Amino acid sequence: MLTLTIVMMNSGSVLDIMVKPEQRIREVLKVLADNGQISYTDESQNIYTRSWRLGRLVNNGLTFKQVRIQSGDILYIEVEAA
């Protein structure tokens, strides 16, 4: 399990989560949105994820393991209206 911090750039909210390395980033973001933990309401919105440790945007369609996210990383999430 990986322990990560999610920072929502649009609202400033911070959330600590645990995920499996084999989970897709997009699926985790959807679960968090469905549970009201993050502000993401519409499939037409663009959602960007930046890894603090890697210093770059990551592909939400890949797994945490594939993009080399490690425990303790901070993911900055920004939702852009379409």
Sequence ranges of the domains in the chain: 2-73
DSSP letter (8 states) at residue 34: H
Question: What is the structure's pLDDT at 36?
Answer: 84
Question: What is the structure's pLDDT at 21?
Answer: 97
Given a cut of 50, the residues of the chain with pLDDT beneath it are: none
- For the entire predicted model, the pTM comes to 0.88
Question: What is the structure's pLDDT at 19?
Answer: 97
Q: Is 12 helix (H, G, I), strand (E, B) or coil?
A: coil
The class (CATH top level) of 2-73 is alpha beta
Report the C-alpha gap between 28 and 79 in whole angstroms.
Answer: 15
Question: What is the structure's pLDDT at 41?
Answer: 65
pLDDT per position as a tens digit, 51-70: 999 999 999 999 999 999 99
